[in-house]
Amino acid sequence: MKVVIQRVLKASVTIEDKIVASIGHGLLILLGIVDKDTQEDINWLSNKVANLRIFGNENGVMNKSILEIHGDALVVSQFTLHALTKKGNRPSYIKAAKPAVAIPIYEAFVKQLELDLNKKVLTGEFGADMKVELTNDGPVTIIIDSKNKE
């Protein structure tokens, strides 16, 4: 499981010209899933996201988590995070989990993050053609792969 986390002032997801999710200050989380992802990956990654200290404290030092600032979270499915680009110029997405596997893992990650944050987590729509708009704060962008915990 891989995430790209962006610290945002605001973010939204639009599907067919309708805004389906919108947040203020917090995190936009792009989530990519592979077949080998498990509940252990979900728990570890959710905990990491909830406690990642990437928000400024009173001195402007990145030392606060989304929990501490009571920020919002928006999770968007993003199978292209697992693109293979070594050969040729057309990315291969063979490592990305198919919807039958990915959807339950995606939903479980959102539920776990809601538990870890003790608040509702907004989402896009799995598999939909989404337009994601954000105002990146910093910019701060972090990539985390649950298969690289060490």
Per the CB < 8 A criterion, the answer to whether 33 and 1 are in contact is yes
Within 1-150, residue ranges assigned H as helices are 39-51, 66-69, 99-117
Q: Which of 52, 4, 63, 46 is nearest to 28 (CA)?
A: 4
Active-site residue (options: 14, 38, 80, 135)? 80
CA-CA-CA-CA torsion for 32, 33, 38, 43, nearest 10 degrees?
20
Task: Verify whether residue 80 is a known catalytic residue.
Answer: yes
Contact 32, 78 (CB under 8 A): yes
Three-class SS state of 129 = coil
Residue type, position 4, single letter: V
Active-site positions read 80
